[in-house]
Structure 1
C-alpha cells in the first residue's frame, strides 16, 4: 500500500483498490449490526468472501517495484513506524474511550485492523526469502503454509501469524501478476458474467451466512477453534481458497479500466485504511449503533461508510495528516546505514588484525 508505479494497467488496480477500501470500511461499519440486522449479516458475509483476499492481492501487485534494495528497506521501515504509531494511538484511545472487548494491548497483538500492517511487513520478508524459487513453487509453498497455519495450536492474534500465512498465497499471486496476464479475462463478456456471478454470490450469502462460519473467512482462527479438529481439516481451507478465488474473480467485473477520479482516490487508500477505524470505534463507543435496528438504518450505515471513504481519500486529508500516515524514515535509514558501515569497517579491521596475528605466529613456528 506504499507507493505506486507507472506500469501498464495501474489505473485498473488503483480503481480496484479504491472499491476494495470502500468494502473494507463498509464491512467494518456493518460488523456491530450483524447480530441485529439480517441485511447487515448478508452484506458482511458477501464482502468477506473477497475483500481481504483481493486487498492482499492488489497490495502484492504494488509491492513489485519496491520490494528489494534501498527502496524495499525504506518501505519496511515505514510500515514498522506506521504500525508503532497507530498501535499506540488505537491502544491509548481504546483504553480511554473505545473499550473493545477481547483486545490485548501489546505491540505483539495488532489492534483489530492493524493486523494488515504486521502481515504486510512479514509478507515482504517471506517473499524476499523465497525470491530464488520459481513463481509456481512460491505459490504452491504459500498455499501449503496457509493450510498448515490452521493446525498451529494458538489463535492468530499474536503478531497476526495465522493471517500472515493464510493470506500469503494472495500476496504472492499479486506480486507475480501483471495487467497483461489478466486483461484478456476482462472482456465485456467476462465482465457481464463476473458481475452476474458476484450478485449471485450476494444472493447465496443468504444461505451461506447461516451455514458458513465467517471465522473461515477471517483467517485468524485455528481449525480446532472452528470446530474441526480432524486431521483432514486442511481440505476445508482449500475449499475456502477456491471460494475466495471465485468471489474475487467475480468482483473484478465491477472494476473500471480507465484512469480518472477513482484512480486518484485509489492512490490514497492508505489514509482511509488507517483512519476509518477511529470513526467506527468512536461511533460504537458513543452508542450510535444502539439506535440502528431497521433495514433503513443498515442502508444508511452503508451509504455513510461510502461517503466517508471518499472524504478520507481526498487530497486535503492527505495534506493534513501526511506526516502521521507516511512518516519520513529517511533519517532512520541513514542512521542504520551508518551503524552498519561502522560495524562492517570495525569487523573487517578486527578480522585483518586477527589474520595478521595468526600469520605472524605461524611464521615464527
Structure 2
C-alpha cells in the first residue's frame, strides 16, 4: 500500500510542477519579453513542459482501448469540454459573435482537450502495433505533418500530430517501469545536460532561435531558422530543428523525473486538481487581458532594465497596410483576437508599439528577444 501511495504521489507531483509552470507562463506571457529573467524562464519552460504533459497523458490512457472497445465516454467528454472551453474563452476575448468560425480554430489552451480526443482515437492503431513500431510510426507522422502549414489550429490537428510521439511513448510504457526509471542514478547525466542547455540560453538570448518555432507543435518546417549552412525555411532545416526539439524535450523530461520529489506534499495536491486549475486560470488571464486594465499597469511589466521586444507580423497575404502606432486592442478588435495565442496582437500598454496591420489572418513570428508562442493546457489524468 505504501508503494501505491508513493507511485500516485510521484505522478501527481509531476503534474503539480507542470501546472505551476503553465500558470506562470500564461500570466507572464503578455509582458515576459520586456524582462530578461521572464524571457529566459519562458524559453526554458517551453522546451519540455508540453511534451512531458502529453507523455504523462499517454501513460494513463491505457483504458482508452480495451478488449476491442474504445472508451467513447472519455472521447466525447474531452471533445465537449474542449468546445465549451473554447466558447468561453472566445466570449471573454470578445470574438465569439463576430467570428464564430474561430470555434474550430484551436490556437489557444482548449486545443489540448481536443488533442486528447484525437490521441484516444489513435489508441486502436497503437494497440495493434508493437511498442517500437508504434513509436516509430508516430514519429514519422509527426515529421510528415511538418511539411504542411496547419498553424491556423483547425480542430487542433497540427499539434495533435506533432505531439503524438510523446503520447505513444507514454501509452506503451507501464507506470511501474517509470517508477523504477526515476530511481536510476544515470539520470543525473540528463540533469547535467539540461543544465548545460539552460546555461546556453542564459549566456545567449538567441541560442534557441533557430529551432524554437518547432517547440510549439503547430508551426511547419518552413518556420525554422538556418542551421549548419542549410537555409532557413527549408524542409531539411525544419526536420533538423524538429529532431533537436524532440531530443531536448526528452532530456529535460528525464531530468525532471530525476529531480521531482516522490513524497506527498502541496505539489501533490496541485497535481490532483490540474483540470480545474487549467480551465479557470486561462479564463482569468483572458479576463485580465481583455476586460480589465491589469496589464496596462506599469508594475505588471516587472521591469528590470530588460530589452524592448520586437513584435512582428507575417501576413497570410503580402498586401499590408503601413506600419502605425496601435492602441491597446479591445475585445473583438482583431480578426483573430485570440491573444496571445498564435495570432497577431500587440503587448499590453505601456508596451504597445508599432505593428504592421495586414489584410488577412495575422500570424506572429518569434521576436529576436525571446520566445512567444502558444500557451499550453493540462488535463487531469
Aligned partner of residue 240 in structure 2, secondary structure: helix
TM-score, normalised by the number of residues in structure 1: 0.71
Structure 1 counterpart of 2:249:
244
Q: CA deviation at 1:219?
A: 1.0
Structure 1 counterpart of 2:134:
138
Which of 11, 23, 26 aligns to 1:25? It is 23
CA 153–111 in structure 1, closer or farther in 2 if over 3 Å, else same: closer
Tell me, in whole angstroms, the C-alpha distance in 1 between the residues paired with 2:305 and 2:107: 27
Structure 1 counterpart of 2:301:
293
Structure 2 counterpart of 1:82:
81
Gaps of 5+ in 2: 226-231, 307-378
Tell me, in whole angstroms, the C-alpha distance in 2 between the residues paired with 1:242 and 1:104: 38
Structure 2 counterpart of 1:229:
233
Q: CA deviation at 1:208?
A: 6.1
TM-score, normalised by the number of residues in structure 2: 0.68
Q: Cα RMSD between the aligned structures? A: 3.0
CA 126–38 in structure 1, closer or farther in 2 if over 3 Å, else same: same
C-alpha contact (below 8 Å) 1:198/1:251 kept by paired residues: no
CA 293–86 in structure 1, closer or farther in 2 if over 3 Å, else same: closer
CA 124–31 in structure 1, closer or farther in 2 if over 3 Å, else same: same
Q: Mean alpha-carbon deviation: is it higher for 133-142 or for 284-293? A: 284-293
Structure 2 counterpart of 1:336:
none
**Where do residues 1-365 of structure 1 align in structure 2 (5 Å cutoff)?**
9-68=7-66, 72-95=71-94, 105-187=101-183, 189-190=185-186, 194-207=190-203, 209-213=205-209, 214-226=212-224, 228-232=232-236, 233-285=238-290, 286-290=292-296, 291=298, 292-294=300-302
Tell me, in whole angstroms, the C-alpha distance in 1 between the residues paired with 2:305 and 2:95: 28
Tell me, in whole angstroms, the C-alpha distance in 1 between the residues paired with 2:6 and 2:120: 23
Gaps of 5+ in 1: 1-5, 299-324, 327-365
Q: Mean alpha-carbon deviation: is it higher for 118-127 or for 220-229? A: 220-229
**Quick check: which has more Rg, 1 or 2?**
1
Tell me, in whole angstroms, the C-alpha distance in 2 between the residues paired with 1:208 and 1:269: 34
1:228-274 Cα offsets, whole Å, 9 max, x none, are 43242323211211111111111222311124543333122111111
CA 82–198 in structure 1, closer or farther in 2 if over 3 Å, else same: same
Q: Mean alpha-carbon deviation: is it higher for 200-209 or for 155-164? A: 200-209
1:91-144 Cα offsets, whole Å, 9 max, x none, are 1111179x9xxx985332125111111111111112223321111111000111
Greater fraction of residues in helix? 1
Tell me, in whole angstroms, the C-alpha distance in 2 between the residues paired with 1:104 and 1:245: 38
1:50-109 Cα offsets, whole Å, 9 max, x none, are 100001011111111344477811111111110121111111111179x9xxx9853321
Q: How many residues align?
A: 291
Aligned partner of residue 30 in structure 2, secondary structure: helix
Q: Mean alpha-carbon deviation: is it higher for 46-55 or for 122-131? A: 122-131
Tell me, in whole angstroms, the C-alpha distance in 1 between the residues paired with 2:65 and 2:42: 33
C-alpha contact (below 8 Å) 1:90/1:111 kept by paired residues: no
CA 56–104 in structure 1, closer or farther in 2 if over 3 Å, else same: farther
